[in-house]
Structure 1
Amino acid sequence: MSPREHRELRAIMFTDIADFTRITAGSERRAVELLDQQRTLIKPLVEEFGGNWLKELGDGVLLSFHSTIDALECAVEIQKQVQDVKQLDLRIAIHQGDIVILENDDIIGDDVNITSRMVPFSAVGGIAVSEKVTRDMSSHPEFEARFLVEPQLKGVKKIVRIYSVVSNGLPQPSKKDFDAKYEKKNPLIRPVTYIAGIVLLLGYFGYTFYFRGEGGAEVKTVLKDDKSIAVLPFMNMSGDTKDEYFSDGITEEILNRLSKVEAFRIISRTSAFSFKDKMTEMEARQIADLLSVNYIVEGSVRKWQNNVRINTSLIRAYDDKSMWSGSYERNLENIFTIQDEIASAIAEQLKVQFGEIKGNISTVTTANSSALNNYLLGRNLWNKKGKQDLIKAIDYFNLALKDDPGYAQPYIGLAESYIEMNNIAEHINKGSDDDDFFPRAETNARRALELAPEYGEAYTVLAKVAEQYRKDPEQAEDYYQKAIRYNPNYSISYLWYGTLLWKQGRTDAAFEKLEKAGDLDPLSATINARIGRFYYTVNKDYVTAYEYYTKAFEIEPDFIYGFENLFYIDLLERQLMWNKAEGLLLRTYEADSAGYGALVGLTRYYLNMGNRQQAIKYYNKFYSTYFPNYIALNTKIDSLGLCEIYQLDGDINFHLNKDYGKALDLYFKSLELIEEVQDPMQLVNIYYCIHALKSEEKINEFVEEILYDMYGDIPNEIKFAILGMDAGYSDDETKVAGFIKMLDSEHSQNYKNYALAFIFTSLEETEYAVESLEFTNEYKLVKDLKLLTNPIFDPIREDSEFIRLIKKTKLKKMDSS
């Protein structure tokens, strides 16, 4: 990829003139007229909505936008404008994806091809959009869409779900009108002469069935030699909602037994239980498709007095066929025998289907019904994961052990509760006065293993303790491997093991484990966010990272945990979704009002938006919370914290207060604390402060320090920016030309366009300054340059071209009173 080529997430639009070939057949003049009309009418609209007119492809046009909502608004306006133009009937498709922007501003990438293949699914005069676009539409009630089809588009490997925009008075397509060339999904119906061959192929490779879901949508379930099962929440038939914990607990125990069989792929509780309130509305095969499994276990539980009745069945997903069902009625003392019988019966049915299956389904349990009841009450509370819920869960687990000291499950319940309590203490309640959660977790996990030596979850806890508390990664890895050996379907083992490998730099192995965790628990917010973070930090694939984080926050909208939300905030800002980013920052602050990330994030957010009052409010909270400790401890990490405080205060005075003397003092204070400059852009701010204070002596001194690398190994582009600005303010055009020439010869693109913009602004050459910034994506204009508030750009701020540039960032200056 050449220096000026780069990747970005863009909304991609294709337009196409319906029946163009027929209309213009034999009339080249009519073809030219129609294309001229299209160009004249559409191009100004594209510019108005901040889009890029990339190229014309026959009668079609390829466009890109920085936001899907801009693309949608533009598309609606285009369809309105062309209504009165004879024979200019357009189909429009919009998709969002990762594209490569070439030096000539052309774009390439798989998502460009996808968009072009979507066009024929649009009604004439309508708009077809992909599922990615509908996600952004969800927060804009003025737009509505309905699902159309999920075709296998020609030349496209991935499946694309296509929708039609139904709002804004747009026409809708009829499926019989689709003229796209795509590989259709057909049932397995073939002439008789092919049947024998097909049967052989099905027996060898597995087979695929298609059926129509609700609303005519095609749903696919693939049946292979993949023994994948989802155990759905058993229905509580006791007539008392207070017994819900019992039916949930029975479900979870059966799930846990099946999980111990390595040959099975058992979907984790988090994902399976996400359908708890939807099971009456959805068919088993629809749930199976969403969870990517081939079999569903469902059932019901009725408990009365000291008796229990369990009805359960194993369903093959693609045809809703019950492969097995059973009904069990016993007293509560025999409940664990029933659970073993159910799990064994399911395994036996799959053995008939697939052959020998190895694994020990039986689990060491209790014959004490009171112990069982207390354990299930504790596990029900543990699954809620709140601090008070965990405290109550610990009480119930201890009650269970009082009833039966030889019962292994409550010990692991305690161990896992203390791990969760430690997570809360670390990420939310930092002021906790209880710092022995890890030792307690370890003690209980070891006791569980004394009673049940092959308890995989206990080894997972020991691995976490060894890794995080005892700082012994080799021991931790050994424990994780044992955990997976004894319970190959426990998603947390893979999640934590993958994270350990990641920390060690073994990223390929780490991703393999994280991906396995996602396969076992596809609807876990935590796992989706962790995979998203991997794509963000390791692969620098911000598009895929955004998709995983979006899924995580759709699953759990109040997902405020560690730094995951801060990564998602950055991804939202990369898409210029400033309001959504602000909302998440504020929720983060509500969850932890003393959190470093939330306070710094909010300060910088309002600084970028020009909201002086709010920026100062959160900075003051940050200062009062962290400054005294940083001063008292005086370690290297606390020096970095002090540096952050001085930099933030300097930025507030530089960008918002325009107090250049105070900003200068604070910037120099931050530089005294560290060995090298953390943010080279700070040096540009320092130069401008000295320039604004009109101290010729200090200017010359600082320029000399820059020339002689007194501030360490800073990028050449920053040096040339400062030297070029100094020449520009002095009207030394010869020197300016020299520095611009030097910048043009630089291969690095990190600061090159910024430097050119600074220099041209010093000359008040607005056109060239804006042109330099056109190569910078809008996210960096805001985060790096602080375009809305940066005083360096004040000389050109009122120019229409600069205003247009601000508009592209989607920034709206806030009231800073």
Structure 2
Amino acid sequence: MSAQPEIDFELEIAHVLFIDVIGYSTLPVDDQREVTAELNRLVRATAAFRAAEEANKLSRLPTGDGMALAFFTTPEAPTRCAVQLAEALRGQSKFRVRMGMHSGPVSGVTDVNDRSNIAGAGINIAQRVMDCGDAGHILLSRHIAEDLESYRVWRPYLHPLGEFDVKHGVRLGIVNFHSDEIGNAEIPKKLTQVPPSPVITSAPKRLRWPLVWTSIALLAIAVAYFAFSGHPSAPSSSLESASPPAISDKSIAVLPFENLSDNKQNSYFADGVQDQILTNLSKVSDLKVISHTSVRQYKSGITRNLREIGQQLRVAYILEGSVQSAPPNRLRISANLIDARTDSQLWAETYDRDVADLFAIQSELAQAIANQLQARLSPAQKAEIEERPTHDLVAFELYLQAKGTIDSYIIAEDVRAALLKALQALEQATAQDEQFVLAYCYLARVHSLLYFFDLDPAANRVLLAEAAAKAALRLRPDSAEAHLAMADYYFRCQRDYDRAQSELAIARPGLPNSTPFFILSGYINRRQNHFPEAEKDFITAVRLDPRNPNAYNLLADTYVLERRFPLSDEVSRNVIAAGDDTPIVRYRQAATQFFFTGDTSPMREVLAKAPADLDVGGGETPTRVLLAILDHDYARAEQALAISPRQDFQDIDFSFYYPKAWYEAMIARAKGDLPAAQAAFAQVRAILEQRLLLKPEHARTLAVLAQVDAGLGQKELALHEAQHAVDLMPLSKDVYDGALVLESFAQVCTWTGEHDRAIELLQKLVAIPSYVNYGRLKVHPSWIPLRGNPRFEWTVASMAPKEPLRK
């Protein structure tokens, strides 16, 4: 007896396009093969198909006389594919097709030939919808039509026909998708034979039909499956996923301790005590412990409103204290545990010991706090807390200085200088104590950051990062921090995301409250196109460290990539509510509003109020230049660039630095000063060539070089370089950098007159997470050559906001 096919019952929601060739069975066999080959070619040539395939978000099911395509992105993906296929078929007479679309659950199966396939209600309903149509029809189920109705660009195409009994007695709402050029406006013949149920038309141009029992049944099946299997659901698309969480009874913030020593220069000592107590508590998985970056902002020595701090950090308890040293080697540490909800003291203790007992005191204090909060402490966690990080207090001080810098590098005015200073401190710390595992972990991380951001990509930087991570693992093979450092090395220096994920899996149990862990995990998940997982990682990082700019910027940035701008805006609102009402936070919120609406006025208002030298990481000068160019005030643009002492700047993303000459070229290009533009482009080219000597296959650098050569009029060279960059960084390898490289390719095509190819690339980018959005396409001068092109304007219009951001 042959084995039964093995079935994978994991359900996913797919957006299905079913395509059928009219009259296929009546064709001679040779004609059938020719038609099938041509249909396959036309479908594969659509930008929507290619984008989903490269992002690994597409499953294909041959059906003999057509095919079913299951897109695991958005309802727009099959719609764009159908429109692009209909455009390709227009005017040809070889064959005609009909199409049907539906969103619903599908699952993977293994067929009798041991090949992976898909099946499920999503496929079946799409076929039944399609079966209602005639040649040229694009028919939609009510379910997917209501999803598309949310997009203003699709509303004119949606023409409800009513509800009909289809195969096996299933009753479906059917919508005809057509315009003057696309689809078939006639009512399908099959549907004229059966009168439809009335369509509710109380709101013109809006689909308002009762729920059909089929949809309810499918939803019940999906809910039952997820409840039974424990499969994690995707993050909510509502504002709830960006809203503050409820306050846990087992949550705590350890605020900076006050230095009561006569020598006020010993403040580092008090900082070190607080830092280590926090680090020890963070190892307890039963607690939520706010990370260092957020609590560091509540300075000691001033009156602190603990209730307000508890609300801002979303914690039930706050630990504060003081440190006092006395000659010759005595130490007094006092600690007070406060219920932030009632501002009442629950516990207090004072420790009078020898300085040599510092780490023992910190361990005892952390365990006492865990007991007060009734937190479960495993034997492994207890052992971790009791272990001394180092026996050398000088090495510990150096480590703390570097750690603070590295954890908050994102807000440094000069990231390179800050990281190099931290590097020097860590080298001194490891020289002072060659067994200092945590210092080696941060040493590996700083080498990896310098290499990754091209800030100091010395030839031996990768080797130094690897050596430091391996040193940590050699000293402590079971160290979660050491495995985190190795994961960071694989991610930043080798771009080996799978090995990085393996190291993170080892580190995860030992770092339940580690913001750096969740940030790195989110980074990697995002690049591997695991956006729901990345979103969860960044949400966790923000909840553990609500005032950490790296954490909340990454969460907001992820929503920008997904074009979920209201959620990105909500992140900024929450940050401001948590006490970080700063010019840079306001600026990044305004940038999100620009991406969403194309309105530059919020950015203008924020920059007008901000300090003139606001330029965190070199991120604001490019916006000042852009706004001046949009105003045709080129003198102001040149002045904004000239007054900055920086020589390189970040632009749309936080991982690439553009030379100053790049913006000089943009200004000259906007002015129409071709000689000045080409002179500036030549300077940029020389800088990028130097970078490529150290990283010859760095796709982002090569992609920007292609843009430079396009600006220099070297069309063939630019196109070749852009294609090479795409080949080095395909979407399947890294959807984040892959999309940025693809956008550069689109820019090259725009500047070299290959406008159709540019629009195809942009349409592909619109179908995946990327920085291509309504505001940038509508406003940015780089896309001026495409303005007025109907396909480009249609693409821009398809991303127009459906509703305003909340006030």
| TM-score of the aligned structures, taking structure 1 as reference length | 0.49
Question: What does the per-residue CA deviation read over 1:381-426, in whole Å, with 9 as the maximum and x for residues that have no partner?
Answer: 6567555555454454455455544443433343344344445xx2
Shift of 1:535: 1.0
Question: What does the per-residue CA deviation read over 1:549-582, in whole Å, with 9 as the maximum and x for residues that have no partner?
Answer: 687799596979xxx9998696388332453698
Q: Which of 457, 460, 463 lines up with 1:439 in the alignment?
A: 463
> Is the 2:445–2:489 contact (alpha carbons within 8 Å) kept by the matching residues of 1?
no
Shift of 1:641: 3.9
Partner Cα distance (1:601, 1:609) in 2? 13
Q: Which of 647, 657, 677 lines up with 1:593 in the alignment?
A: 647
Shift of 1:248: 0.9
Partner Cα distance (1:605, 1:514) in 2? 36
Q: What residue ranges of structure 2 are gaps of 5+ in the alignment? A: 1-145, 154-201, 209-237, 410-414, 608-613, 623-640, 652-656, 724-741, 767-772, 790-807
> Is the 2:336–2:345 contact (alpha carbons within 8 Å) kept by the matching residues of 1?
yes
Partner Cα distance (1:504, 1:450) in 2? 29
Between the two proteins, the alignment pairs up a number of residues equal to: 493
Partner Cα distance (1:398, 1:234) in 2? 27
Counterparts in 2 of 1:712 and 1:271: CA distance versus 1, 3 Å: closer
Q: Which of 506, 511, 518 lines up with 2:535 in the alignment?
A: 511
Aligned position for 1:579: 604
Aligned position for 1:296: 318
Partner Cα distance (1:682, 1:383) in 2? 37
**SS class of match (2:253):** strand
Aligned position for 1:259: 282
**SS class of match (2:647):** coil
Counterparts in 2 of 1:343 and 1:612: CA distance versus 1, 3 Å: same
> Is the 1:309–1:330 contact (alpha carbons within 8 Å) kept by the matching residues of 2?
yes
Structure 1 vs Structure 2: percent identity of aligned residues?
20
**SS class of match (2:386):** coil
Is 2:446 the partner of 1:412? no
Is 2:356 the partner of 1:329? no
Counterparts in 2 of 1:413 and 1:567: CA distance versus 1, 3 Å: same
Aligned position for 1:536: 560
- Aligned letter for 1:229? I
Is 2:674 the partner of 1:612? no
Counterparts in 2 of 1:622 and 1:312: CA distance versus 1, 3 Å: farther
Shift of 1:648: 4.7
Is 2:509 the partner of 1:489? no
Q: CA RMSD in A?
A: 5.4
Partner Cα distance (1:506, 1:409) in 2? 30
Aligned position for 1:475: 499
- Aligned letter for 1:302? Q
Partner Cα distance (1:786, 1:283) in 2? 50
Structure 1 window deviating more from structure 2 (433-442 vs 264-273): it is: 433-442
Partner Cα distance (2:541, 2:333) in 1? 30
Shift of 1:240: 3.5
Partner Cα distance (1:558, 1:272) in 2? 20
- Aligned letter for 2:440? Y
Aligned position for 1:313: 336
Shift of 1:466: 2.1
- Aligned letter for 1:300? S
> Is the 2:476–2:482 contact (alpha carbons within 8 Å) kept by the matching residues of 1?
no
Partner Cα distance (1:444, 1:684) in 2? 45
Shift of 1:461: 0.5
- Aligned letter for 2:294? S
Partner Cα distance (1:282, 1:542) in 2? 35
Partner Cα distance (1:683, 1:401) in 2? 51
Is 2:780 the partner of 1:783? yes
Q: Which has the higher contact order (CA 8 A, sep 6+)?
A: 2
- Aligned letter for 2:310? A
Pairwise mapping of residues 209-288 of structure 1 onto structure 2 (< 5 A)? 224=248, 226-276=249-299, 280-288=302-310
Partner Cα distance (2:390, 2:270) in 1? 17
> Is the 2:284–2:376 contact (alpha carbons within 8 Å) kept by the matching residues of 1?
no
Partner Cα distance (1:402, 1:682) in 2? 49
Counterparts in 2 of 1:381 and 1:348: CA distance versus 1, 3 Å: same
Q: Which of 602, 626, 634 lines up with 2:685 in the alignment?
A: 626
Counterparts in 2 of 1:399 and 1:612: CA distance versus 1, 3 Å: closer
Counterparts in 2 of 1:249 and 1:679: CA distance versus 1, 3 Å: closer
Counterparts in 2 of 1:495 and 1:323: CA distance versus 1, 3 Å: same
Q: Could you say which structure has the larger radius of gyration? A: 1
Question: What does the per-residue CA deviation read over 1:620-648, in whole Å, with 9 as the maximum and x for residues that have no partner?
Answer: 43442226856999989777545523555
Partner Cα distance (2:762, 2:511) in 1? 55
Partner Cα distance (1:717, 1:248) in 2? 50
Question: What does the per-residue CA deviation read over 1:516-539, in whole Å, with 9 as the maximum and x for residues that have no partner?
Answer: 1121111111111111221122x2
Shift of 1:503: 1.6
Partner Cα distance (2:761, 2:378) in 1? 67
| TM-score of the aligned structures, taking structure 2 as reference length | 0.50
Q: What residue ranges of structure 1 are gaps of 5+ in the alignment? A: 9-101, 109-155, 162-219, 650-664, 688-705, 719-747, 751-775, 793-817
**SS class of match (2:373):** helix
Is 2:404 the partner of 1:341? no
Shift of 1:348: 1.4
Counterparts in 2 of 1:616 and 1:498: CA distance versus 1, 3 Å: farther
Counterparts in 2 of 1:574 and 1:618: CA distance versus 1, 3 Å: farther
Partner Cα distance (2:293, 2:461) in 1? 24
Partner Cα distance (1:300, 1:313) in 2? 9
> Is the 2:408–2:550 contact (alpha carbons within 8 Å) kept by the matching residues of 1?
no
Q: Which of 448, 457, 463 lines up with 2:487 in the alignment?
A: 463
Partner Cα distance (2:480, 2:292) in 1? 16
Counterparts in 2 of 1:433 and 1:333: CA distance versus 1, 3 Å: same
**SS class of match (2:381):** coil
Counterparts in 2 of 1:447 and 1:591: CA distance versus 1, 3 Å: farther
> Is the 1:464–1:476 contact (alpha carbons within 8 Å) kept by the matching residues of 2?
yes
Partner Cα distance (1:717, 1:457) in 2? 41
> Is the 1:419–1:461 contact (alpha carbons within 8 Å) kept by the matching residues of 2?
no
Counterparts in 2 of 1:791 and 1:159: CA distance versus 1, 3 Å: closer
- Aligned letter for 1:494? F
Question: What does the per-residue CA deviation read over 1:727-785, in whole Å, with 9 as the maximum and x for residues that have no partner?
Answer: xxxxxxxxxxxxxxxxxxxxx9x9xxxxxxxxxxxxxxxxxxxxxxxxx9776543379
Pairwise mapping of residues 641-720 of structure 1 onto structure 2 (< 5 A)? 641=704, 643-645=706-708, 647-648=710-711
Question: What does the per-residue CA deviation read over 1:565-619, in whole Å, with 9 as the maximum and x for residues that have no partner?
Answer: 9986963883324536987655367475245847599978997999628998677
> Is the 2:583–2:606 contact (alpha carbons within 8 Å) kept by the matching residues of 1?
no
Partner Cα distance (2:427, 2:575) in 1? 33
Counterparts in 2 of 1:465 and 1:382: CA distance versus 1, 3 Å: closer
Shift of 1:669: 8.2
Counterparts in 2 of 1:666 and 1:444: CA distance versus 1, 3 Å: closer
> Is the 1:782–1:788 contact (alpha carbons within 8 Å) kept by the matching residues of 2?
no
Counterparts in 2 of 1:626 and 1:4: CA distance versus 1, 3 Å: farther
Partner Cα distance (2:358, 2:457) in 1? 40
> Is the 1:221–1:288 contact (alpha carbons within 8 Å) kept by the matching residues of 2?
no
Counterparts in 2 of 1:526 and 1:378: CA distance versus 1, 3 Å: closer
Pairwise mapping of residues 375-414 of structure 1 onto structure 2 (< 5 A)? 375-376=399-400, 379=403, 385=409, 387-388=416-417, 390-414=419-443
> Is the 2:480–2:507 contact (alpha carbons within 8 Å) kept by the matching residues of 1?
yes
